[in-house]
Amino acid sequence: MTAVTPGVGIGVDTPTPPRRRRSRLGPGGMSPTVGWLFILPNLVGFLAFTLVPLVSGILITFTDWNVVSGLDGIRFIGLDNFVALVGDAQVWRAVGRTLLYAGIGVPLTMAGGLIIALCLNGPVFGQSVLRAIFFVPHIVSSIAIGFVWLVLLHPSAGLVNQGLTDLGVADPPGWLVSQQWSLMSLILITSWAGMGFHSVIFLSALQAMPADLYEAADLDGAGWWTKFWSITWPALMPTTTFLAIMSLIGHSQGFGLIAFLTQGGPGESSTTLSYLMYQTGFQFYRFGYAAAMGMLSFVGVALLTAFLWRFQRGRGLYT
């Protein structure tokens, strides 16, 4: 015999239990729409001032456009701008000066900032005031900094050359008006302006180090150089890498001081790639070619950044 289940049979409808509606509320009972509203201002700013200009800049590299003719004057030329870059001697001279500008400026800025931080790391009277004083050049306008150094480095009336003359230097450098010294002058000014920021970051990292490492080194009889090379420097490796990358990006984009102090001269002795981009785009209205230079700069900085990041892996005290 076959057992018949009560309530289940031919012609009998079994009621289906109501399906529970999936809650669309986020954690804490808040609607996801509220979260999107919170990030909307930042998202709009990112799209308007970062993503759209970035995509537009990439697209412009494949065009010949002088802006004056409007959007109707945009002419697609493919890779012609990049082909022209390869054979443009002026561009590669500017690349060489940019590498020199960053190759000397970045280590000089970081070394100066580290020395200042080491001097301030300890029971120094007025440490907070000194830290603020050293940090001031970082927040002051580049025009104000340039004006001060323009007065100091004046070839005849500047305090620097007057001091050198008093010390017996018969023919002091022309600094900003000399083809031999203009780029080096910009390197020194840029490094001076950036040392304060680097010193504050280095000092924060130094003060965050555990003191027991130095106490153990003292018990072992380690000198100051051994402690610096075996403890301080490895512990500062992540901070050093961060500052090196930021300083490299800053030097590759350096424009304000160059435009104010030398305008890329005398001749083209201080024309870096960033200033040549400005000249090409806003003085000669070759925006496609200037954008191609920008892409060249971007790729170069990206490769150097990747190298620095890869180089520091495994070399820090905590890695």
Model pLDDT for residues 191-224, shown as the tens digit of each residue: 999 999 999 999 999 988 888 888 888 888 888 8
State whether 48 and 144 are in the same domain: no
Do 129 and 199 sit in the same domain of this protein?
yes
Are 64 and 175 within one domain? no
Residue 2 belongs to a domain? no
pTM for this entry: 0.84
Which of these three, 22, 45, 76, is where a domain ends?
76
The residue segments making up the domain with residue 64 are 31-76
Q: Within a domain: residue 132? A: yes
Residues 150, 69 share a domain:
no
Task: Say yes or no to pLDDT of 93 above 90.
Answer: yes
* The pLDDT value given to residue 17: 60
- Domain-embedded: residue 124: yes
Q: Verify that 50 and 111 share a domain, yes or no.
A: no
Give yes or no: residues 234 and 268 share one domain: yes
User: Exposure pattern of 234-268 as b/e (b: 16+ CB <10 Å)?
Assistant: bbbbbbbbebbbbbbbbbbbbeebbbbbbebebeb
Q: How many domains does the chain have?
A: 2
The answer to whether residues 54 and 109 belong to one domain is: no
Are 292 and 185 found together in one domain? Answer: yes
**226 and 291 housed in the same domain:** yes
Question: 203 with 295, same domain?
Answer: yes
* Same domain flag for 115 and 66: no
Residue 197: the pLDDT is 94
For 41-63, what is the mean pLDDT? 92
